[in-house]
Amino acid sequence: MLALPVVASGVAAAAPQPIEYVALGDSAAAGPLIPDQDTAQLGCLRSNHNYPSVVAADLGARLTDVSCSSARTVNLTDVPQSTVGGPVARQIDALGPTTDLVTITSGANDFGLVTTALSCVNPLPQPTGFSCRDRFTKGGQDQQVAQIDAWAPAWGAMLDRVRERAPQARVAVIGYGTYIRPGGCPGTQPIWPQDADYLQSVIAHMNAAMAAQARSRGVEFVDITAATAGHDICAEPAGAYYTGVVPGELAVPLHPTALGMRAIGAHVAQQLR
């Protein structure tokens, strides 16, 4: 039997309460198809081995994970999300005055990052096909950057709502990582070099926009760009943190692998410890 700590008065001290941790976000947090999937909400394609679960185990926290694949920022704050398993409540409803820690990975679906990435796929070598970089920057305006800049205030407003619902919580926005290395790997993944660089630059701009919104509100931003570098979709499957266009394991293309979730979770926990 474990003995309770005793204070000088001879009264047993109360055991410390675990951290009340709530994870919000989209598929980059949820971990679609990564074993084992949460059977309580199959429509969210949420793994119980995603990065929030790693963070919770590392910090000894009690986790409430409401991340859900395909979630947009509006599903965090205002609109229940429709899934194949039925509607899912607003993620913000999981927060409360006793929440101690909140992590958020959200924003990529607001401007269709995965759709953008898939539009950069060219199965044939140059010059056959079309460059997504050229298409998105035609006329001298970067359409993707413009969309991110337009969405940034909505991300900031979402953070305000989170702070209102969980006023005592430590809130951390978790960025998106290094999905593809400079120049890509055309022999392995069907994306031209200039398009690989463009795609990662869009992710970098999204991270910067999110970081600016977070820091202007005193909210932490955890950048995982360096922590995931070298483990992108061009890496050997044994060391890849993200799946390629054609996944090498059970995971959704262009999403974290099980190994990636463990690495991201360990990095996030280290930053929050």
Picking from 182, 174, 218, the residue whose alpha carbon sits closest to that of residue 198 is: 182
3-state secondary structure 27-56: HHHHCCCCCCECHHHHHHCCECCCHHHHHH
CA-to-CA distance for 176 and 164, rounded, in angstroms? 25
Place of tokens 């059977």: 39
* 104 SS3 class: strand
Quote the distance between the C-alpha of residue 77 and its chain's center. Answer: 17
> Does 106 participate in catalysis according to the annotation?
no
Q: Which of 27, 69, 70, 106 is catalytic?
A: 27
Q: For the purposes of burial, counting CB atoms within 10 Å of the CB of 119, is it exposed (0-12), middle (13-18) or buried (19 or more)?
A: middle
Hey, what amino acid is at 86?
G
> Does 255 participate in catalysis according to the annotation?
yes
Asked whether the CA dihedral 155, 161, 164, 168 is positive or negative, the reply is negative
Which DSSP category does 225 fall into? H
The pair of structure tokens assigned to 184 is 């890509």
Q: Which of 69, 231, 255, 267 is catalytic?
A: 255
Report the catalytic residues.
27, 255
